Amino acid sequence: MRPDRSSLQRAFRKSVSALVRSIAWLTAATRSAGGAVWRSVRRLTRLIQAHWQRGRHRTSEFLSGPAKQFVSGPLRVVLVGRRTDVSLLAVLLAPVLALAATWWVGSTVGYETLATWVRGTWFGTAPSLAVFVAAGALIVLGAISAAANSGVLPTSLLVSAPIFGAAVTRYGTTVTYTWGTEVVSLPNAVGMAILLALGFGLPIAVTGFILGGLVRRIVTVFRGQSGPAAPVKNP
């Protein structure tokens, strides 16, 4: 028995009506959810912008206040020095000291003898007076630089330069490894000289910097105590 045509039409209309209502409900729900998400995003954006503006304002105040004073004051003095001209003089003097050390080692004792002195002094097997004198002279040089101008960077460069100059004389020498002998190339010599300058120069520079700072502090204290006495008022 075939179904009635009118019943099929009614079923079709009901299906279409249900589908339309479902689509309308889904559209309304999606619109409502989208509106809620959009409002939440806008509130979150405004909150982030407010915190960002507040944080930027506080950071600007801090950087233009205590931080700027610290960077341009104590930190600059410790790193660069009190006087720019004196620091520049130390930087320009460093290559001269490096060349002088290179010339002296290369024209007198040679790298092999210098390495033997340093190795014997380091391990205590054959201490060399020349190594102790050189280390003491570098400490005094660092102390003078620190006492006169402070500045750990120019002081370190000034102290490390002679060590670099002495170590770079390794260039052209023949070294023996477990796999054989090899002539030291220029990049090898410069790289090793930089490592030795950092390894030995920085501790010596820091020692001289501390001693120079102590000397400057002591001199300042004694100058303050030996200043002119205040005049006595007559009654």
pLDDT at 17: 78
Between CA 201 and CA 102 the distance in angstroms is 16
| pLDDT of 211 | 93
Q: In 168-201, which ranges are continuous DSSP H helix?
A: 186-196
The predicted pLDDT at position 68 comes to 58
Cα-Cα-Cα-Cα dihedral of 39, 44, 50, 53, to 10°?
-120
What integer pLDDT is reported at residue 26 of this predicted model?
A: 81
Q: What is the mean pLDDT of the chain?
A: 83
**pLDDT for the residue 32:** 79
Q: Residue 201's pLDDT is what? A: 94
Amino acid in position 97: L
d(CA 36, CA 41): 9
Res. 1: pLDDT tops 50: no
Q: How far apart are CA 142 and CA 210, in angstroms?
A: 9
C-alpha dihedral sign at 107, 113, 115, 121: negative
Q: What is the DSSP letter of 176?
A: E
Q: What residue type is 139 in one-letter code? A: I
Task: Yes or no: say if 155 and 209 are a contact pair by the CB < 8 Å rule.
Answer: yes
**pLDDT digit string (tens) for 89-135?**
888 999 999 999 999 999 999 999 999 999 999 999 999 999 999 99
pLDDT digits (tens, 9 = 90+) for 135-191: 999 999 999 998 888 788 999 999 999 999 999 999 988 887 778 788 989 999 999
Taking the whole predicted model, whether its pTM rises above 0.85 is answered as no
Q: How many residues does the chain have?
A: 235
